[in-house]
Amino acid sequence: MTHKGDVKEQAKDILEETLDREAVIVLGRISEEMQLLFMAHPEPCREDVVRIVTGYFLENGRSEQFIADWIETSAEYSRQRGLEEKDQPKAMLSDLGVFRFMNFLKEKGLTDDQITIVLTGAVQQAASDNQGGGPA
């Protein structure tokens, strides 16, 4: 069985081995932008999220069909996770952050397995930070 620390270490190793300094800066910027979005919209309504997601994807050249599909898929995933309707917009906004990270890492050539490890490590790091554990 893999220990939590092992996944965080694997994630760190993958990032160090595959990303240059510029890529690490971009990942940091994505994280900061998402934190600012959550600070500006701590309890977003669905309309807020649709506006934010649509704006992001339009700026990045995505089609209206892609945007509509992405929003519906994210909403459906929130429902499948059993989230109450009031919590679904926040989850959708979180999905945007995950999508941005995954898309960037894929552009940098990471495999799906590597991306899964990196995201799992990031989630575990965030969970330990929120519990007062600090960086590992």
What is the enclosing helix (H) or strand (E) of 26? helix 21-40
Q: pTM of the entire structure?
A: 0.80
**Residue 96's closest CA among 49, 43, 58, 132?**
49
Residues of the chain above pLDDT 90, percent: 60
How do the domains of the chain map onto residue ranges? 4-127
Tokens of 107: 């552009």
Cα separation, 128 vs 115, whole angstroms: 20
Express each pLDDT in 49-93 by its tens digit: 999 999 999 999 999 999 999 999 999 999 999 999 999 999 999
Residue scoring higher pLDDT (119 or 59): 59
pLDDT, average across residues 113-121: 86
pLDDT, average across residues 127-134: 59
